[in-house]
A and B are shown apart, each in its own frame.
Chain A
Amino acid sequence: GAVVSQHPSWVICKSGTSVKIECRSLDFQATTMFWYRQFPKKSLMLMATSNEGSKATYEQGVEKDKFLINHASLTLSTLTVTSAHPEDSSFYICSATLLAETYEQYFGPGTRLTVT
């Protein structure tokens, strides 16, 4: 149980376009979903925390108008990278918590974004 999916697995887009990444909890309702980005050989960097039905909480330095997060239901959160630039190329990973008490995060498989 506790499976999280992400779509797409990888995407290549042109500079200036927008890209939407979906994160779904397949067999459970997630209390909270998290969005991370990871550069090669670096650790995870938390971008934002998302609760269903409320606005996402962004980490310092993360532009909320550039990285739009919509948490439409207890099983779906989306991250939209708007007006993407080559420096936005990265590995984007979402995770979800099953219950507030456990705080264990279940990770999606990640999305590799390349902006040309």
Chain B
Amino acid sequence: GQNIDQPTEMTATEGAIVQINCTYQTSGFNGLFWYQQHAGEAPTFLSYNVLDGLEEKGRFSSFLSRSKGYSYLLLKELQMKDSASYLCAVLDSNYQLIWGAGTKLIIKP
């Protein structure tokens, strides 16, 4: 079967750095997405990785290792507004998005 694992919840301090991991087992791979979702709102796009390595975009970076079936989202200089759920999703061989359950990130002052 297809499976995406990410921690259910993480807590971090304002101004710090946090890394949210995602491991996947899917039938084929055509890229991995990270989305941010605030409570009661729709997801918003953060990043897309299809090749191995680190993609940096401001305070957010995303890393991919296809051989390990592993990705992480790195958030630097955390702000209170970063409190949200972070969803990992993989595009499988049929170009269908397989969603993880999301990681709820709690930022404390």
Query: Chain B: residues with CB nearer than 8 A to chain A?
Result: 30-31, 33, 40-45, 48, 87, 91, 95-97, 99-102, 104
Q: Are B87 and A108 in contact (CB under 8 A)?
A: no
Contacts of B99 in A (CB 8 A): 43-46
Interface hits, A79-116 → B, CB 8 Å = 91, 93, 95, 103-110, 112
12 of the cross-chain contacts (CB-CB < 8 Å) are A42-B101, A43-B87, A43-B99, A46-B97, A46-B99, A91-B40, A95-B42, A105-B45, A105-B97, A106-B45, A108-B42, A109-B42
| B-contact bits for A47-70, CB 8 A (1 contact / 0 none) | 001000000000000000000000
Q: Are B31 and A103 in contact (CB under 8 A)?
A: yes
- Give, as a whole number of angstroms, the nearest-CB distance from A74 to chain B: 19
Q: Are A104 and B100 in contact (CB under 8 A)?
A: no
Q: Are B41 and A103 in contact (CB under 8 A)?
A: no
- Give, as a whole number of angstroms, the nearest-CB distance from A35 to chain B: 12
Contacts of A41 in B (CB 8 A): 104
Contacts of A43 in B (CB 8 A): 87, 99-102
Name B41's contact: one of A45, A46, A104, A109 (CB within 8 Å).
Answer: A109
Interface hits, A3-47 → B, CB 8 Å = 41-46
CB-CB nearest in chain A for B50: A103
Contacts of A106 in B (CB 8 A): 45
Complex CA–CA separation, A106 to B101 (angstroms): 19
CB-CB nearest in chain A for B91: A103
- Give, as a whole number of angstroms, the nearest-CB distance from A70 to chain B: 21
- Give, as a whole number of angstroms, the nearest-CB distance from A19 to chain B: 18
CB-CB nearest in chain A for B88: A43
- Give, as a whole number of angstroms, the nearest-CB distance from B92 to chain A: 11
CB-CB nearest in chain B for A57: B96
Contacts of A109 in B (CB 8 A): 41-42
Q: Are B42 and A110 in contact (CB under 8 A)?
A: yes
